[in-house]
Amino acid sequence: MTATSSPPALVVVAHGSRDPRALRTVRALLDQVRALRPGLPVHLGHIELNEPLLPDTLAALGDASAVLVPLLLSRGYHVKRDIPEMAAAAPARTRVAAPLGPHPLLVDALHDRLTEAGLPADAPRDESAVVLAAAGSRDPESRVDTARTAHLLSARLGVPVLPAYASSAAPTVPQAVHALAAQGRPRVAVASYFTAPGRFATECAEAAPGIAAAPLGTHASMARLILHRYEETVRATPDGGAGPGRIAAPPRGTARHRTPAPARPQNPADALAHL
């Protein structure tokens, strides 16, 4: 991109949800992105369930350049297949950014959400732990990414953080809570590793024995991270998007190129041994 050319459009790709709170949250988040970057064209496209759907958003762009930033927290089928295939079928010149996570900005948001929910800074560390509740995926790389976020959050809090999942992976939140209690950690809070309110986030919060944080939502770090993923993709492709549907690899030195935590074992007790 030259000094006189227009920047490629930013298309935020959300999953979609039947919960109306999710769409309201995503729209508010995009308003924050626009406030941070006035003049940058910012669009929304959904993979399913909500309008506008991603193919419709891309069709409206014609043959313009666009960077697609998944509003997703890890690698998985949507990032690897659905989004690139939709992008490749569109006339727009597109590049797909890396998913939001793992990244230290997400840890900032998770930490703040736990604090807002009442997690005391002076809680006894030898009795405390956190369950990182995520959607879940059959893709092992998704679990590696979630485990990496749990590792970063654990380092921030100074207590064990055990990933748990709403579907497609184990342990569940109740299983993780039970495993932590069996290891002598009865003070368990649940961090909500979801971009917006919805069924999975609600179910995970209801399984919390005590403190349950809100989803990441419109935390200021989320808007900053969306722009970070956009900007690193633009830097990697100066023309702003040749090669429709290709997934950008973040530059060396970002969180995604540090050594990830090992994939979490399926047995919750075994997982605790890795914390």
| 171-212: pLDDT as tens digits | 999 999 999 999 999 999 999 999 999 999 999 999 999 999
What domains can be seen in the chain, in order of their start residue?
9-101+218-257 (3.40.50.1400), 104-216+259-272 (3.40.50.1400)
**Per-residue pLDDT band at 265 (split at 50, 70, 90):** very low
222, 225, 221, 252: which is closest to 236 by C-alpha? 252
Rounded average pLDDT over 9-22: 97
Q: Which helix H or strand E contains 221, and what residues bound it?
A: helix 220-236
Exposed (0-12), middle (13-18) or buried (19+): which is 275, by Cβ within 10 Å? middle
Write down the pLDDT at residue 237.
77
Q: Which pTM does this prediction carry?
A: 0.87
> What are the tens digits of pLDDT across the range 58-90?
999 999 999 999 999 999 999 999 999 999 999
The per-residue DSSP string of 104-154 comes to HHHHHHHHHHHHHTT--TT--TTTEEEEEEE---S-HHHHHHHHHHHHHHH
Write down the pLDDT at residue 242.
45
> What are the tens digits of pLDDT across the range 244-256?
555 554 433 333 3
Identify whether the C-beta of residue 46 lies closer than 8 Å to the C-beta of residue 52.
yes
What's the residue count for the chain? 275
How many CB atoms within 10 Å of residue 273?
Answer: 9
Taking all residues of the chain, what is their mean pLDDT, rounded to a whole number?
89
Identify whether the C-beta of residue 58 lies closer than 8 Å to the C-beta of residue 3.
no
- Return all residues near 145 (Cβ < 8 A) that are at least 6 apart: 73, 74, 75, 99, 101, 102, 260
Q: Would you state the structure tokens that stand for residue 217, as one six-digit string?
A: 């939502």
